[in-house]
Amino acid sequence: MKFYHKIAKVFQPLTYRRSWRRLRRGLHPIPLAPLLARIDQERLRKLRAELGSPPSTAPASWRHYAKYLELEKYLRLNIRRVQDLNLHLTSPKDILDLGCGGGFFLFVAQAQGHRGLGLDTGGIPVFDELVKLLGVERGIYRIEAEEALPDFGRKFDLITAFSTAFHGGKDNSWRWGPNEWEFLIADLERHLNPGGQIFFGLNPAYAGEYYTPEILEVFLRRGAAVERENVLFPPKAVIPSGA
């Protein structure tokens, strides 16, 4: 089957699903004001003054990521992410967020009663400061192709990765292929509790596409529901006791 036929098939009910999600968000809102009230506004003002306009000599990523100091914009985006994963309506979960950046997603999830751990390379001042400001626990770790993640001493009910960059992006000459994705997904499964799930919100890293046909094949073979950049894997099987 041609790539565009596969994509068309995946997209058919897209408009319907998007409208449904919008409706659900409206029915169960997460208001912004109480989230903002948890944030030290004086410290935020200082961060904006210090890190809002990095000099032209600063690494390109520092300048690129300065936009994340627009807190309200990124909180709104992450409120939608939390709502779409139903996290405002479920019992407390342990969540691992890969490439957590400033920690916005975990901050909103934590405000709904969940426990979070972010993973990121560190070293980008705006993210280093934002995770502290938002009170998000972060492990410094670089995800590498076909390298198993470390033991975290606990398992997770949900593993997420939003606006992913570990598979290669515009600043890299390389991109992960199907084997690297296959390895990562199998490895992440080791870190899931029974019933736990993996969710990717992908960046368009493959010549403007979120995945190649071969990578899509890997996701589908593993039973994922794929909707454009959103890839949700089925819950990890619960092994019946005594089996």
Ligand X SMILES: C[S@@+](CC[C@H](N)C(=O)[O-])C[C@H]1O[C@@H](n2cnc3c(N)ncnc32)[C@H](O)[C@@H]1O
User: Which residues bind to ligand X, rule: CB under 6 A?
Assistant: 99-101, 104, 119-121, 124, 127, 142-143, 162-163, 165-166
The encoded tokens of residue 105 equal 């997603």
**Residues 125-145 as b or e (16 or more Cβ within 10 Å = b):** bbbebbbebbebebeebebee
DSSP code of residue 53: S
Alpha-carbon span 52 to 144, nearest angstrom: 30
Quote the least distance from Cβ 79 to ligand X, whole Å: 13
Q: Which residue number is nearest to ligand X in terms of Cβ?
A: 101
- Decide whether 61 or 213 has the Cβ nearer to ligand X: 61
Alpha-carbon span 129 to 51, nearest angstrom: 9
Quote the least distance from Cβ 160 to ligand X, whole Å: 8
- Decide whether 120 or 182 has the Cβ nearer to ligand X: 120
Residue 57, burial from CB neighbour count under 10 angstroms (0-12, 13-18, 19+) = exposed
- Decide whether 127 or 211 has the Cβ nearer to ligand X: 127
For 180, other C-beta atoms within 10 Å of its C-beta total 20
- Decide whether 149 or 218 has the Cβ nearer to ligand X: 149
Quote the least distance from Cβ 83 to ligand X, whole Å: 15
**Residues 186-206 as b or e (16 or more Cβ within 10 Å = b):** eebeebbbeebbbbbbbbebb
- Decide whether 162 or 219 has the Cβ nearer to ligand X: 162
Quote the least distance from Cβ 243 to ligand X, whole Å: 36
Residue with structure tokens 């071969």?
A: 214
Quote the least distance from Cβ 159 to ligand X, whole Å: 13
- Residues facing 227 on adjacent strands: 230
Quote the least distance from Cβ 238 to ligand X, whole Å: 29
- Decide whether 101 or 196 has the Cβ nearer to ligand X: 101
Q: Note whether 129 and 52 are within 8 A (CB).
A: no
